[in-house]
Structure 1
């Protein structure tokens, strides 16, 4: 199972590297792969079950395996892309590389579950001896080769006459055809939609011919021979992909005057992007992730300027929330399935017959775990760590996935020590552990310990500020300034007194280097302004006034605006619109009449991820309302930091 997952991950990685014009992030690509598992597989199975329930027959009949199954599978694999286009309404602003990647990821997820099922149900002496895909008369039929582009092809080894490429290639080819049709439908009329229909029919034909190669009529096999018997599909797809990448970069260069360019670059092309990534990786590794994000975001900005529309921009944040919700549900379901499998395995272990002199114990499981781990070769251990890393990468980022993989390796590698600690908890009461516990208690409970802890935190903050002053950060690298630390309360009954002017890192918005920076769109229309910007520390300053908040309306006798209505409008709605405009609609910056003459450009501020609000009011109701509004922003923009200071005049 692990080996099969690594093969599928390898195929997905190949598509990820080839689709150079992509704007999708890895998480979004992983979402399509998960949908291929959790959406396409059940719908395909239910559809086939419904057909047999209505018509009858067996699943091994020719009309089922060679006619209905290829049609249902090839169509259902396009469902994730169709749902994304329908709900996001971003078809016009997606690159052709995005279409290809979405189709490939859905196909990878589908093929992963198909191959896992084959391995799980594998039986017979030949399959157990030579591999799950080996037959007596046909030799090896499913080929996974490391040095092959898109491994996983279906072809008999002895006297091969036809083959079919893997599910990812078929679905990626049809998805790319859909992208070409959407991109050029205005120039070539709706007749261009004949292209993806033809590609889908070709995929179904190859699939059907392979499944029914000994039972289908001769005329079907003859048509399949005319189309190359499956041997030309990958070549045609690669030619289409090259054409799609060329068209994408030609389109990007039409708006390159509105996009940021690297020093020395005159055009936007994949080779220069790869060159800058390589230079960053080998010379300045701290900038590598920034260059990766910058090149992708530049492409995303370019396609938004070229093909984006107001409808796409208006629903983007709502879509993001919905897709994140679906992603979390899919991830949660996958965790539940994995947990159920582990529990089933443990139940089988506990219920297995034991010898009379054996004793079932919890600690013995960890001893057995390390014994099994120690028997594995270095390659097998490395494969398990790599598999854990690849699996975690579907749900979290790179570093959390790496931590998960190393943790997964450390548990079986320390099984004997864990078992000893379970049998004899007193082993934990070593001098080292006792000293660490006493020190932790002193730092958290004793007044002197608190003083030392706070002194250490201040020293850390001072060193960080000193390093920031000496090493001016790259504007492409997002910054996360220090978040205000809550003060220790001497008495729980005394209310906390907020005195922002006494804070070491407090900077009034009027003291920012850049003030009154306005965004504008492609028509030079205003898109909102920032009161103050600190590019060096990566902070947007926003000044808000709560004067007149408690003013009574003469007709109703109630305040004209509640604190919650005020913060929702001034903090949540305006900031949400400002971020969307900054990332989607803005093409440049300019100073306002009361602003500074020198202002940063758009690319300098797009990487800033910290908003600091300074509010002149300060009441318990206003604090509670502001926290509610900021929590809504934190949920919609998890990669941003939002803080607020009260009583700032």
Structure 2
């Protein structure tokens, strides 16, 4: 946020102040008094504006460490430096700059150094034998902010005179800045002052020494409240070596824990300084730290979802446009080709500037790591324009084994639960149907009446052994459903979806066998005190409704297949479509159950007059 304030607050305020000064006193911005006197004073002062506002209005200001002061000042300086460099590059002029790049001079060579090996990028040196330089804005502002933090920390012990120290650091930064801007125009006495301060070459070293001192004072202060802070296993007290060790270990070994370890380390430091220096309002904010962190990740996920939704809507619009208005020669996929062509023409610095811009914009709404991920994702889209265009033109490219493997790896790396991946995989074959059938077989049977029949005279019939032959009707075609030639025959539709199964089929005799269980039908519900299901409700569901759906699905089905416990051989759909006889085998038997079953069968006979329906009771 301090970096964004350096972009959107400090730069406009500085520009308006300079313009106002010229409006009052006249002159041009390239005049010596403006460029070498007014501009350095205003820039170095206004870059401290975000820190001043934070100290005045934030309840967390009293719990800031010296490192926090440094980061706050350096963050505003980073934002200011970023926009200053971008503006200069966009407005680059001169034949030398256009030929050899921005910041290249005839005698001084490269004057602005943005390379990997520079600790603080942005050093200015312009001469064959340079004698003066200026460090970047983050170094100046970070050094002054660190001095302000030390003054605030030791004000009660040393008095208000301590604020002379940050004032001297600010004056040092202004002298460095002014001496560089007006090195050939300013009077000799001023340049001698610049020589006394090191002509810009000692500023970086002084800042590093102050930063090391600030870190030492921070951890020395945390040592005073070590008994009130959480300590990791093996950690004697809060120290930077242990913190860096845990952070590096989480990043290298278990990267999913890195953000959590970093947040925990930061919260522990803030808690320590709240206990040391914070007022009640600052201390009360400790409980909200983790909530804000979770909120940032949710916002980041929401932004990712919006991005994906935009891509889906764009793809649908392209499809609609191509098929509804075929004469139009608009090319949606060509947009991605052009995007990558444009991206490839950019230099490394321009690409980096765009990524930093996306990072700065997203940082306004989410935390550091979600903003970094969003910026890198935004950069990967134009960099993969040709691949995206090829996928749009030929979606079958996504069905290759390589893409399938990469998709599974992406799911695993993103830590999406593997069950979802298995579900998607199952839609391609029979995995999903096999799982559904397995779960269905393992389900508890539907509530049914106990296997106790009652004679009309009220006497209890004798118990029969499990292997006793079930009662027979007048028909001679009785066959137990488990003895049928074909068992476990399932119907499926054009989308390979299951449409129900038959327990047994006899093609020669033309009979569908359906086994129904009525065990537990008289079980009493503990809350209502009544049976969970009446016999009529049971038969309407198990006999009438399911059979009606099965007959209708026979017309929708496109084929048959065996279930997991079915017979190796099963009949084809054409062989069973002509069967018109359903025989139900029910393991319960009671007058109420018989009457209910007859009612349900009569409903089937009325709706399907060309079918025959019969039932046998007491079949185990």
- Check if 1:304 corresponds to 2:274: yes
Q: Secondary structure at the match of 1:43?
A: helix
Q: Secondary structure at the match of 1:266?
A: coil
Correspondences of 1:64-463 after superposition (within 5 Å):
64-313=34-283, 363-371=333-341, 394=363, 395-398=366-369, 401-402=372-373, 405-406=376-377, 408-415=379-386, 418=389, 421=392
Retained in 2: the 8 A contact 1:70–1:207? yes
> Aligned-pair distance for 1:287?
3.8
Change (3 A) 1:385 1:118: closer
| Larger mean Cα displacement after TM superposition, 260-269 or 209-218 | 260-269
> Aligned-pair distance for 1:243?
0.6
Question: Which residue in the other structure is 1:467 paired with?
Answer: none
Q: Secondary structure at the match of 1:154?
A: strand
How far, CA to CA, are the matches of 1:181 and 1:99 in structure 2?
11
Question: Which residue in the other structure is 2:605 paired with?
Answer: none
- Check if 1:47 corresponds to 2:45: no
Retained in 1: the 8 A contact 2:343–2:382? no
Change (3 A) 1:86 1:56: same
> C-alpha deviations, 1:459-518, integer Å up to 9, x for none?
9xxxxxxxxxxxxxxxxxxxxxxxxxxxxxxxxxxxxxxxxx9xxxxxxxxxxxxxxxxx
Q: Secondary structure at the match of 1:195?
A: helix
Change (3 A) 1:53 1:380: closer
Retained in 2: the 8 A contact 1:385–1:409? no
> Aligned-pair distance for 1:366?
2.9
Retained in 2: the 8 A contact 1:389–1:402? no
Retained in 2: the 8 A contact 1:34–1:106? yes
Q: Secondary structure at the match of 2:154?
A: helix
Change (3 A) 1:279 1:370: closer
Change (3 A) 1:92 1:363: closer
Q: Secondary structure at the match of 1:146?
A: coil
How far, CA to CA, are the matches of 1:161 and 1:191 in structure 2?
34
Correspondences of 1:53-64 after superposition (within 5 Å):
53-64=23-34
Change (3 A) 1:148 1:404: closer
How far, CA to CA, are the matches of 1:161 and 1:81 in structure 2?
33
Change (3 A) 1:124 1:248: same
Retained in 1: the 8 A contact 2:334–2:389? no
Question: Which residue in the other structure is 2:540 paired with?
Answer: none
> Aligned-pair distance for 1:154?
1.1
> C-alpha deviations, 1:410-465, integer Å up to 9, x for none?
4552447537848x9999999x9xxxxxx99xx9xxxx99x97xx99xx9xxxxxx
Retained in 2: the 8 A contact 1:366–1:412? no
> Aligned-pair distance for 1:92?
2.7
How far, CA to CA, are the matches of 1:256 and 1:417 in structure 2?
54
> C-alpha deviations, 1:300-321, integer Å up to 9, x for none?
1111111111243468899999
> Aligned-pair distance for 1:290?
3.0
Q: Secondary structure at the match of 1:53?
A: helix
How far, CA to CA, are the matches of 1:43 and 1:108 in structure 2?
16
How far, CA to CA, are the matches of 1:289 and 1:316 in structure 2?
18
Change (3 A) 1:403 1:189: closer
Retained in 1: the 8 A contact 2:230–2:268? yes
Give the TM-score normalised by the residue count of structure 2: 0.54
Question: Which residue in the other structure is 1:36 paired with?
Answer: 6
> Aligned-pair distance for 1:383?
6.2
Q: Quick one: higher RCO (CA 8 Å, sep 6+), 1 or 2?
A: 1
Gaps of 5+ in 1: 1-30, 326-358, 433-438, 460-500, 502-649
Change (3 A) 1:142 1:364: same
Retained in 2: the 8 A contact 1:126–1:136? yes
Question: Which residue in the other structure is 1:27 paired with?
Answer: none
Retained in 2: the 8 A contact 1:277–1:291? yes
> C-alpha deviations, 1:167-189, integer Å up to 9, x for none?
00000000000000000000000
Change (3 A) 1:223 1:316: same
Change (3 A) 1:219 1:196: same
Retained in 2: the 8 A contact 1:66–1:209? yes
Change (3 A) 1:137 1:288: closer
Q: Secondary structure at the match of 1:115?
A: helix
Retained in 1: the 8 A contact 2:359–2:374? no
Name which one, 1 or 2, has greater alpha-carbon Rg: 2
> Aligned-pair distance for 1:274?
1.4
Q: Secondary structure at the match of 2:124?
A: strand
Change (3 A) 1:216 1:318: farther
> C-alpha deviations, 1:25-79, integer Å up to 9, x for none?
xxxxxx1000000000000000001100111111111110011100100000001
Change (3 A) 1:381 1:212: closer
Change (3 A) 1:363 1:154: same
Q: Secondary structure at the match of 1:366?
A: helix
Gaps of 5+ in 2: 296-328, 404-422, 444-526, 528-620
How far, CA to CA, are the matches of 2:179 and 2:349 in structure 1?
38
- Cα RMSD, aligned residues only: 4.5
> Aligned-pair distance for 1:139?
2.4
How far, CA to CA, are the matches of 2:101 and 2:169 in structure 1?
33
> C-alpha deviations, 1:90-110, integer Å up to 9, x for none?
333110000000000000000
Change (3 A) 1:84 1:320: farther
Change (3 A) 1:47 1:315: farther
> Aligned-pair distance for 1:127?
0.3
How far, CA to CA, are the matches of 1:191 and 1:172 in structure 2?
21
